[in-house]
Amino acid sequence: MAEVEKTSVEIFEVGPRDGLQNESRPIALADKIALVDCLSRGGFRRIEVASFVSPRWVPQMADSGAVLAGITRVPGVRYAALTPNLRGYQDAHAAQAGEVAVFGSASEGFSRANLNCSVADSLLRFAPVLAQAQADGVPVRGYVSCVSDCPFDGPTDPGAVVRVVAALRDMGCYEVSLGDTLGQGTPERIAAMLRAVLGEVAPDFIAGHFHDTAGRALDNIAVSLEQGVRVFDAAVGGLGGCPYAPGAAGNVATEAVQARLTDLGYATGLDSGVIAQAAAMARAMRGARDAV
């Protein structure tokens, strides 16, 4: 059993939310549901499918409640939703999200652009979400953006990442995903950041979230594995990006992460055929955008 755990890595699929949220062309509800249903057959334990933010800011996610109502839920799969505040949490809970996520930043510039508040104030906003989720028995995941570079502030101090991670832990998050939002982090800098963070929390509390803007996401995953990280976010077809991070390309593709992990001898428990099918669906959605 110990050997299985040592060589197992979980891919947290974020394509239906983090992947699709930046698509400017409206994507049909039926297509979103079909993508989630396909992914549900792939062996994932967690799939991020919804975001209960203001539709004025992220119109692509305005039908998140309908997505959660329309998908075919598979036993053993937890369907996650992003929730920026208590109202978002209440909507996600009503839609029966299996877990929710709060999202902050390690950099002040990105926090003000993305959340319209300081890092400290963003953490204060999360407190009622964590308190209500704990009362309801709903797991909460934390996201930290710009752990390597910020489009407004430049390189991020690893100490700033540590402080946000520690705050999210103390509030009750069960896991924190560290995001290289610009996709400019090098393996050396990612390793240094992780060493700082892992001086505060255990590796099993951390997930990696790497964008592939500079083509280094897989190398950053490899160096994270060396530090003991065993959960990585990815999006089928490489969908994604961030509207508040100019120049940031998509998330690292799930199919590429699956292939690299397999080459390195790690088991994911995923069905590569299903992932390929879902990736084709995702690329078709992006292709429709590119054709406009």
Domain ranges for the chain: 2-291
Q: How far apart (Å, rounded) are the C-alpha atoms in residues 253 and 218?
A: 10
Q: How many CA atoms lie within 13 A of 30 on its CB side?
A: 0
Mean pLDDT of all residues in 201-210: 98
Q: How far apart (Å, rounded) are the C-alpha atoms in residues 143 and 175?
A: 9
Q: How far apart (Å, rounded) are the C-alpha atoms in residues 66 and 61?
A: 10
Q: Percent of the chain, pLDDT > 90?
A: 84
Query: What is the pLDDT, as a whole number, of residue 216?
Result: 95
Mean pLDDT of all residues in 95-117: 93
Tens of pLDDT, residue by residue over 219-271, are 999 999 999 999 999 999 998 755 455 555 679 999 999 999 999 999 999 99
Mean pLDDT of all residues in 40-47: 98
Query: What is the pLDDT, as a whole number, of residue 246?
Result: 52
Backbone φ and ψ for 224, nearest 5 degrees, come out as -70, -40
Query: What is the pLDDT, as a whole number, of residue 22?
Result: 83
Neighbouring C-beta atoms of residue 4, cutoff 10 Å: 8
Tens of pLDDT, residue by residue over 51-65, are 999 998 899 999 999
CA torsion 113→115→118→123, rounded to 10°?
-150
Query: What is the pLDDT, as a whole number, of residue 134?
Result: 97
pLDDT band at 114 (very low <50, low <70, confident <90, very high): confident
pLDDT band at 1 (very low <50, low <70, confident <90, very high): very low
Helix (H) or strand (E) holding 233: strand 231-234
Backbone φ and ψ for 287, nearest 5 degrees, come out as -65, -35
Q: Which of 124, 47, 48 is nearest to 84 (CA)?
A: 124
Q: Which of 263, 258, 250 is nearest to 232 (CA)?
A: 258
Output DSSP code: residue 156: P
Query: What is the pLDDT, as a whole number, of residue 291?
Result: 42
Q: How far apart (Å, rounded) are the C-alpha atoms in residues 125 and 111?
A: 12
What residues have CB less than 8 Å from 202, skipping those under 6 apart? none
Q: Known catalytic residue: 173? A: no
Query: What is the pLDDT, as a whole number, of residue 5?
Result: 46
Tens of pLDDT, residue by residue over 3-33, are 334 589 999 999 999 999 988 889 999 999 9
Cβ–Cβ < 8 Å for 206, 197: yes
**pLDDT at residue 101 is higher than 60:** yes
Query: What is the pLDDT, as a whole number, of residue 249?
Result: 61
Return the CATH architecture of domain 2-291: Alpha-Beta Barrel (3.20)
Query: What is the pLDDT, as a whole number, of residue 242?
Result: 54
Mean pLDDT of all residues in 120-137: 96
Q: Which of 179, 243, 254 is nearest to 211 (CA)?
A: 179
What residues have CB less than 8 Å from 41, skipping those under 6 apart? 74, 271, 274
Average pLDDT, the chain: 92
Q: Which of 85, 51, 78 is nearest to 231 (CA)?
A: 78
Instruction: Give a three-class secondary structure readout of 157-199.
Output: CHHHHHHHHHHHHHHCCCEEEEEECCCCCCHHHHHHHHHHHCC
Please list the residues that pair with 253 across neighbouring strands: 235
List alpha helices for the chain, DSSP H.
Answer: 2-6, 29-40, 64-70, 86-94, 108-115, 119-136, 158-171, 187-197, 217-226, 254-263, 272-291
Mean pLDDT of all residues in 158-166: 97
Residues 38, 150, 173, 242: which is the catalytic one?
242
